[in-house]
Structure 1
Amino acid sequence: MPSHFTIIGNYISPYVRKVLVCMELKGQAYEIDPITPFVGDDRFSALSPLRRIPVLIEGDMVLNDSSVICQYLEDRFPTPSLYPADIAQRAKARWLEEYCDTHLANVLVWKLFYQKAVLRHIFHEDADDAMVEHARSVEIPAALDYLESQLPEEGFVFGDLSIADISIASYFRTASFVRYVIDAARWPRMAALVARTQALPVFQRLAHWEDTMLRLPVTEQRAALQAAGAPLTSWTMGTHAPRKGLARME
C-alpha cells in the first residue's frame, strides 16, 4: 500500500524545500499545508512544540526537524541514495547539511530574508538595517569563503547529488527572494554549484509553486496555490493572526 505523507510547511522555507526535494527524488507523493510557522494554530503547536516547520505526518507518526525527516526518508526509501556511500563522505555531507541548517540559516534566513521579507510583510515592522548590512558585508562572505573551500572545481560536492548540494542550494534559493546573488567572480565554485543544483527538474518544479505565492500576502497564498493545482491538504492549521513566539523554520 502506498505511503500517505502530509507536510506542514511553506514552500518558501529552505527547510521545507530540502524535505520536498528529497521526497520528490525518491518518488514519494505528498499533500502539503503550506503555512508559515508564524500563523500556525494550537493544533500546529501540538504537533510542533517548538513551532517550527517542516512537520511530516505519516499515519500516526509525526516527525519534526528537516534533517530528521530527510534521514528517515533515506532509511525508508534508500533508492536513489542522497547520502554518500563512503562513511567519511557521508559524515561530511551531514556536517554540510548541519552547517546550512544552523549557520547559513542564521545569516541568510534570519538576518536577511526574515528582516527584509517576513518582518515587513507579516509583522509590518521595519528591518534592522545594521543587521542586514553586517550579514551582507561580513557574515555571508565569510560563510561563502568556507563553503568555496569545501567544493570541487566542478560537479556536485561528492560526485553524485547529495543532501549537501540540496541543502546549500535550498538556502540560496530563499536568499534570492530578497535579491541576494552569489558573486560568481569571487566564489565561482559556489555560484556554479547553486546554479547547477537549482537547475535540476525537481528544484524547478518546486520553484513553480514558490513563484506562485512569493509576492502575495500570507492570507492569499493558499488560494493561489490551489488555483495553480498544488497538492494541498483539504484543511489548514493556518490562522490570520501571526505570532512570533518560538516560531522559526527548521
Structure 2
Amino acid sequence: MSETAEVTIVGSYVSPYVRKVLACLMLKGIEFEIDPITPFYGNEEFTRLSPLRRIPVLIQGDLALSDSSVICAWIEEAYPDRHPLLPATPADRARARWLEEFADTRMGDVFIWDLFYQKVVHPIVWHEPGDAARIEDALNVGIPSVLDYLEGELPQDGFIFGEVGLADVAIASFFRNAQYAGYEVDAQRWPRAAGFVSRMLSHPVFERLAEFERAQFGVKPAERRAALEAVGARLTETTYGLPEPQKGTMRL
C-alpha cells in the first residue's frame, strides 16, 4: 500500500461517523474522493468491505477500513506531521479517545437511532413513520442526560484541547444531525454545550461539509450524485450502491 494513493471514502455526507472522518481528513489537508451511499443501499461488495454494513469505509490502495474510530486513528498515524488530531500528553490523549467513544456510542444511540433515524431517515428510506415513543424518550431523557454530562466536560471558550481535534469533531458531528431533526441545544440550561456546538458547527470544515449535506436533502437517491457534483464534491467514478434500499445489519 502506498500512502500517496488516492483516499476513497464510502458513505453518506449526512452520517455523523462519515462527517467525523471527512472533517479529520480535511483538518490534515488530505485529498479524498467519496462514494456517497448509505448502508441501506450497499451492494455485496460493500458488505465484503464492511461486514457489519457500517459507514464510513476508507480505501487506500489495498487497505480497507470500516470503523470510524479505527479510520481516524489510522489518519493520525499515517499523517503525523500534519494538523494533530490528538493532544500531546498521554492523559489528554486518553481523555480525547474516551470522548470520541462516548460520542460514537451514547450520543449515537440517542441522537441518531432514537432521534434522527426515527424523524428523518425512517420516513425517507422506508416511507413510514418512525417510532414516536423513541423520539419522545430521546428528547426528554436521553439527550438531556448527554448534555448534562457534556456541560461538565466542554470548555467555556475555544476547544477541548486547544486546537480543534478528534474529540471536538466526534462530539460536534452529532449535533449537526440533531439540527436536521429539528433539535437545538437550550443555551440557558446548557451554556457551555451550546457555545461549543455553535463554535464547532461554524468552523470552516463543518461549514464546507454542510454544503454537501444540504445538497443531498430534497433530492432522490438516484439524483444525489449529480446534486453533489454540482456543489463541487469529488465523487468516485463507480459506486457500491444499489438502486433500492435493503434491510439488514447496518449502521449509520
| TM over 0.5, shorter chain | yes
Which of 137, 140, 144 is matched with 2:140 structurally? 137
1:105 aligns with 2:105: no
Where does residue 167 of structure 2 map in the other structure? 164
Q: How does 1:166-181 map to 2 (within 5 A)?
A: 166-181=169-184
TM-score of the two chains, using structure 2 as the length reference? 0.96
Which of 42, 56, 79 is matched with 2:44 structurally? 42
> How much does 1:223 deviate?
1.8
> How much does 1:89 deviate?
0.8
Where does residue 57 of structure 2 map in the other structure? 55
The amino acid of 2:167's aligned partner reads A
> How much does 1:165 deviate?
0.7
The amino acid of 1:27's aligned partner reads G
SS in 2 for 1:150: coil
Where does residue 70 of structure 2 map in the other structure? 68
Q: CA RMSD in A?
A: 1.1
Q: Does the aligned pair in 1 maintain the 2:12–2:18 contact within 8 Å?
A: yes
SS in 2 for 1:108: helix
% identity of equivalent residues: 53
The amino acid of 1:189's aligned partner reads R
The amino acid of 1:165's aligned partner reads D
> How much does 1:153 deviate?
1.9
Q: Does the aligned pair in 2 maintain the 1:7–1:32 contact within 8 Å?
A: yes
> How much does 1:195 deviate?
0.9
The amino acid of 1:4's aligned partner reads E
TM-score of the two chains, using structure 1 as the length reference? 0.97
> How much does 1:154 deviate?
1.5
Where does residue 232 of structure 1 map in the other structure? 235
| Equivalences, count | 249
Distance 2:138 2:121 in 1: 16
Q: Which is further off, 105-114 or 215-224?
A: 215-224
Q: Does the aligned pair in 1 maintain the 2:156–2:195 contact within 8 Å?
A: no
For structure 2, the 5+ residue unaligned runs are: none
Greater than 4 Å deviation, 4+ residue runs: none
